[in-house]
Structure 1
């Protein structure tokens, strides 16, 4: 009704939402996507979309990096994928997570299908090393986890060039896809139903779809690379506001990136709008 006073809380919320829409439009202006067909991963939405033109062909739930190990935004191309992959454990995980377990019990490696190597690539016996004396500062070892049902990469990993050493892969912990909030990884992107995406990429390239079952992947002794005749663009983005079906949807700011952009566009935050970041709607 004309002349009726506006609820201050409602006005602050509307202002906050307006700014959230604007800062996300600014992000898209910085990193537009010109590819006619591509994979889009929106980190706050925990979702991978296969996009052709203006249509979403497929959707997959994903798990992204924790706030302390965020998944980076990037653009690249998937050139191939690996079946029954082995996992070369990153140094950060080796020193922060594997080393403390080895200090308690060197049998941790055998239980998890891992092999220990020195810097020359020679296989070592973990029981012959005094792990209490090993320092994370100058760690002289590497670990490789072979293909198995508990392999951290699952049965398939999609490869694309990027400076962050992240990739898109399967996971044995599939129950985590049922969680609404899925910022749980060390930075790589885990996806639900990855074999279906692999089959789509092969059909798109006109290649025969001959993918092994999960049981066959586990039994496969060595990794097998499958090259794509047509590389697929992949774009990882950070958008806390989307518009599916023309309806605005506001998402949690899982990495707390919005405020920096908001301040750049609108200046210091208003005291009455301190809760503008919002939850998923």
Structure 2
């Protein structure tokens, strides 16, 4: 099930103001619905939703302030989160399939690898620039953002590395560490598939 089917649909049925309070825009046939709070959700089946949903930028966004997009066939990406407490859990498999990044700002700095661009990124998320000669950027950005907030027109800003960066995502339920084997629960149920594949070579 998609997030729209498993969460948004039920939350909107339970609370008619959930979408507007969560800064979630609703689209029908790619056209923005001006007042999503007026939708009668009981008329629609969860499995055949004719709507698309998009959460606006801002601190309350479920993806946090950063989203790291990379080329893949499963629409997976790395992202920040507005729920930092999730990193304190023993079992952190609480995302919807994408990968949460505990320290997205530090990760972004490594990817960008350019002090000028990194300061622009910091200013974009309301942080002071590292280079104090860039303070004018910060003041102008804050003034512009104050005006933007009044008109509800916050838009995402795009940053990226100058060169392509290889990304490898691995999944282990057992690995050697300090002369012993560490084991973890198979939360994605991949071990059985691996075992079936390995038996072909017995």
Range into which the TM-score falls when normalised by the shorter chain: 0.7 to 0.9
- 2:118 equivalent in structure 1: 209
Identify which of 145, 157, 160 aligns with 1:227.
160
> Whose helix proportion is higher, 1 or 2?
2
> Whose strand proportion is higher, 1 or 2?
1
In the alignment, structure 1 residue 262 sits paired with structure 2 residue 172: no
Q: For residues 206 and 104 of structure 1, do their structure 2 counterparts lie closer, same or farther at Cα, with a shift above 3 Å needed?
A: closer
Check conservation: 2:55, 2:61, Cα contact below 8 A: yes
Give unpaired runs (5+ residues) of structure 2: 128-141, 149-153
Query: Helix, strand or coil for the counterpart of 1:151?
Result: coil
CA distance in 2, matches of 1:161, 1:241: 28
CA distance in 1, matches of 2:24, 2:81: 17
Check conservation: 1:117, 1:124, Cα contact below 8 A: no
In the alignment, structure 1 residue 152 sits paired with structure 2 residue 152: no
- 1:172 equivalent in structure 2: 82
Shift of 1:222: 0.8
In the alignment, structure 1 residue 117 sits paired with structure 2 residue 30: no
TM-score with structure 1 length normalisation?
0.55
- 2:97 equivalent in structure 1: 187
Query: Helix, strand or coil for the counterpart of 1:262?
Result: helix
TM-score with structure 2 length normalisation?
0.75
Identify which of 154, 157, 170 aligns with 1:237.
170
- After superposition, the C-alpha distances for 1:162-193 in whole angstroms (9 at most, x for unaligned) are 11111000001001101121111110000101
CA distance in 2, matches of 1:131, 1:228: 43
Query: Helix, strand or coil for the counterpart of 1:142?
Result: strand
CA distance in 1, matches of 2:34, 2:173: 47
Count the aligned residue pairs: 175
Shift of 1:216: 2.0
Q: For residues 127 and 182 of structure 1, do their structure 2 counterparts lie closer, same or farther at Cα, with a shift above 3 Å needed?
A: closer
Check conservation: 2:124, 2:157, Cα contact below 8 A: no
Shift of 1:262: 3.3
Query: Following superposition, which runs of at least 4 residues in structure 1 exceed 4 angstroms of deviation?
Result: 217-220
CA distance in 2, matches of 1:227, 1:160: 11
RMSD: 2.7
Larger radius of gyration: 1
Q: For residues 193 and 130 of structure 1, do their structure 2 counterparts lie closer, same or farther at Cα, with a shift above 3 Å needed?
A: same
Give unpaired runs (5+ residues) of structure 1: 1-90, 268-281
